[in-house]
Structure 1
Amino acid sequence: MLNKLRGSLLLFIAALIWGTAFVAQSKGMDYIEPFTYNSIRTILGGFVLFPLIFLNKSRKSTGTPNDNSYNKISFIGGICCGIILFAASSLQQYGISFTTAGKAGFITALYVVIVPVIGLLQKKGSDLKIWICVFLSVLGFYLLCIKNDLRLSKGDLFILICAFFYSIHIILIDNFNSKGADPVKMSCVQFFTAGIIMMIGMFTFETPHLSNIFAAKYTILYTGIMSCGVAYTLQTIGQKYTVPTAATLIMSLESVFAALSGWILLNEKMTIKEIIGSAIVFAAVVLSQIEFNFNKNKILQKDNT
């Protein structure tokens, strides 16, 4: 129970960081292009984890027979997650240019549905409570993000594919965690993998200028250190103690925190509909964390007395 609470708290903090990072990202886009911004902050996130890796190494005894296998699993996991992270973030960035931010946020958040569906295909059942929470979350996201209609455009299709990749990312992390991968090492490899691929895109499709990068330095530092280095690592560690379906519900609070941070930091207005949507999503996440233990034996004993 304590591990589950710890995992949920780490995922909650990750969602909070990601939500507030939307403000920094929107400001960063005023200075530099998407591949340039994402590649620099992602690689920065990898460098941020170096001290933590060496600190963990000094605390652990080395030379055990399983050290090499765990390192191999962490490395392979990091490369796989990095490739998926690159695909998801690139599709999202490309799709946003053809649709509204609200629709992009809603469609991206549909990973709360995709993950349990994939779980069913893998014969990993989800209980009724989780499906109720998923339904409430989708309803909340609709109220929070959709301002007009929900007709699908070219950009919406790219965002939907992006949501699928984010779902794969969550499932991959759970898979490699179960095989004993080191969360910090796996995150570090993930960032360098995604960052290097993004850098190829940067030099291929964009024209980066050092002066513009320096102008966006504060937003890059925040999103690189906090959003990448800290939050994604908290996700990897938190998922060790949380099943993927519940983890997606907690991490989906990112959209709520993004709306709240825009309201507080950028003076963006929130309508009554958006506030109700945020409250429904938050309630769904809280409900997903509540344990309902009904002891059937005790009920039968009471009926017999």
Structure 2
Amino acid sequence: MEKRKAEIVSSIVLGIIALVWGTTFAVIKDTLNSVPPFSLLMMRFVFASLLLSIIYLKKMSKIRLVDLKRGSIIGIFMALAFYFLVISIRFTTASKFSFIIGAYVLMVPFLSFIFNGKSLDRYATIGAIIATIGLGFLTIEKGVAFNVWDLVAGCCSLFFAFHMVAIEKYANDSDPIILTIVQFIVTAIIFSLLTGVKEGYDFSLLPKIKWTLCYLVVVSTVIPFATQNLVQKYISSTTTAVILTLQSAFGSIFAVYYLDEKMSSQMILGCILIFIGILLQELKRKV
């Protein structure tokens, strides 16, 4: 009973994370108009690392070599995902990008089977397929052609899938908070190097984006990723991936409410299919 309760709470928490991520796209897109992409990601993860390290200073004093190794693997996958995200988003439409990135929902069950030995069951597979179809209805516009940059965006989706599978593999054997801090530090180091090589350091931008950066660091990074690492001790990476497709649904609803965009019947169908995919994941745990 306690296990079932933990799974339900974890699912609800991930749904809230999806809501947060679904409503931050406009913030990130607007900020990238005034801040170079690598610089933004560098500042986001440097401050996220510092904040979480200060809060959990006692935990950091107990860090083990194995925690560094595991957190670094997760961090490399995170950095690669965000790298391919920022270099491809400028060359593809928002609708295609949302669909391609969300395609990790279909990759995760098979990667989890290959690397973590998690068996493929019919509910997980069917749920992931339905959620992917729903994502297509929600995001893809008629007459939109795909190009080579969409393949680059596909790399982003692949590494987000690896990120979830890696968390599933290590979350039970290492402190989730320590893993989160290490992955943030690794990601911050990688983007600090990329910023120095590609863009140069310009900290005069900080005062201009201080409130946006606070939002991205605390609301969109520290709380969601730390929470994801915690709850994946109780639910699988496949269930995590399916629930997180809600960010596309929430993002669309957010755009309709705040930007006066229209919600078409196709988009409504997409949202319904995503919810059906999630319900199948819940049904799987009851059977």
- CA drift of 1:162 comes to 1.3
Helix, strand or coil: the match of 1:171? helix
Alignment of 1:200-239 (within 5 A): 200-239=193-232
Structure 2 residue corresponding to 1:260, chosen from 253, 262, 266: 253
Q: What percent of counterpart residues are identical?
A: 25
Partner amino acid, structure 2, of 1:48 = L
Contact 2:80 2:159 in 1 (8 A): yes
Structure 2 residue corresponding to 1:41, chosen from 44, 56, 66: 44
Structure 2 residue corresponding to 1:98, chosen from 81, 91, 99: 91
Partner of 1:288: 281
Instruction: State the structure with more CA Rg.
Output: 1
Q: 2:256 and 2:204 mapped to 1: Cα distance?
A: 30
Helix, strand or coil: the match of 1:49? helix
Cα RMSD (Å) of the superposition? 2.1
Partner of 2:21: 18
Contact 1:86 1:194 in 2 (8 A): yes
Alignment of 1:264-275 (within 5 A): 264-275=257-268
Contact 1:31 1:213 in 2 (8 A): no
Runs of 5+ consecutive residues of structure 1 not aligned to the other structure: 295-305
Partner of 2:31: 28
Flag the 1:9–1:74 CA change in 2: closer, same or farther, 3 A. farther
Structure 2 residue corresponding to 1:136, chosen from 130, 135, 144: 130
Partner of 1:145: 139
TM-score w.r.t. length of structure 1: 0.86
Contact 2:110 2:120 in 1 (8 A): no
Helix, strand or coil: the match of 2:171? helix
Q: 1:268 and 1:9 mapped to 2: Cα distance?
A: 27
Q: 2:258 and 2:96 mapped to 1: Cα distance?
A: 21
Q: 2:200 and 2:255 mapped to 1: Cα distance?
A: 29
- CA drift of 1:149 comes to 4.0
Q: 1:237 and 1:111 mapped to 2: Cα distance?
A: 20
Contact 2:124 2:284 in 1 (8 A): no
Flag the 1:169–1:293 CA change in 2: closer, same or farther, 3 A. closer
Flag the 1:199–1:153 CA change in 2: closer, same or farther, 3 A. same
- CA drift of 1:293 comes to 5.0
Partner of 2:121: 127
Structure 2 residue corresponding to 1:176, chosen from 150, 157, 170: 170
- CA drift of 1:182 comes to 0.8
Measured against aligned partners, the alpha-carbon deviations of 1:8-33 in whole angstroms (never above 9, x if no partner) come to 12222221221122121112112101
Q: 1:245 and 1:154 mapped to 2: Cα distance?
A: 28
Q: 1:216 and 1:265 mapped to 2: Cα distance?
A: 21
- CA drift of 1:79 comes to 1.2
Q: 1:201 and 1:267 mapped to 2: Cα distance?
A: 37
